[in-house]
Amino acid sequence: MKITGQKAQVFIDSFDATSIIENTGTTTEKQKYFVISKGTNSNIPVSAGTFFMAPAGKTTGDQIDLVAGDRLFKINEDRFCKTSAGFEFSMGSVDVGDDCDPGATISDGILQISGSLAGLFRYDDVTQDFDNVTDIVVNRFLDIVEDDGNGKYELRPRTDNQIYLLTLLNSGATGTQTENWLFVPININSMSVSLGNTDPQNKDLSFTKGEGKPIIYKVPAGSI
């Protein structure tokens, strides 16, 4: 079977130190985590620098106990309602040609990922403030000043905090069918904004791979 790009749903979250858990406690059912580090004899099932989802079980024994040295970032993703999205995966090559095998190359093993996202500026229906995703993206390039109109001002400086991009490739999966998630830590390199009088307000983003390991994560749809 084949499915359209419309079935792919994109979610993002930005690093926030208040969302780190470490050393003690357990995971929370169905929570998504980025593994910052692992302690000795860690129970975390994946390597540091990558991503996993906590078990769906609701009882304490179903969850993963943390040990000293474990540090997890809780990913609380918001949906990026895209108009288009694209990824490019590439590896460089090394020339190993000689007179016995002219023109031969081997991979240099260095994975490079880049891509683009396009979507609309979205506003809260009631407050007219940016939605969370728009706010995260804009704050990558601009300071944000919040004025409550009564003399209180809050400055949120531009931030280079890493963004975690999660793409559910087949959102139509149900029950025991497999959901396929593409996880990539990214840096947003550019944003262009279009404000044509007869067009919707939109933002076009380009990104490259950030710190961490991109993976495909397969999980039964009923576990999410």
What is the reported pLDDT for 223?
Answer: 72
**Host H or E run for residue 118:** strand 105-120
Encode pLDDT of 88-108 as tens digits: 999 999 999 999 999 999 999
pLDDT at 58 > cutoff 70: no
Distance CA 137, CA 140 (A): 5
User: Are residues 54 and 60 in contact, defined by beta-carbon separation less than 8 angstroms?
Assistant: no
The pLDDT tens digits for 161-212 are 899 999 999 998 988 899 999 999 999 999 999 999 999 999 999 999 999 9
Give the whole-number percent of the chain exceeding pLDDT 70.
Answer: 98
Burial of 34 (0-12, 13-18, 19+ CB in 10 A): buried
For residue 182, give the amino acid letter. L
Which sequence spans correspond to the domains of the chain?
5-15+76-223
SS3 of residue 17 by DSSP: helix
pLDDT in tens, 10-20: 999 999 889 99
pLDDT at 224: 66
Query: CATH 2.30.110: does it fit domain 5-15+76-223?
Result: yes
Q: How far apart are CA 68 and CA 65, in angstroms?
A: 10
Mean pLDDT confidence for 138-162: 94
* β-bridge pairing 178-194 and 202-209: antiparallel
pLDDT confidence bin for 60, thresholds 50/70/90: low
Q: Helix, strand or coil for residue 70?
A: coil
pTM: 0.89
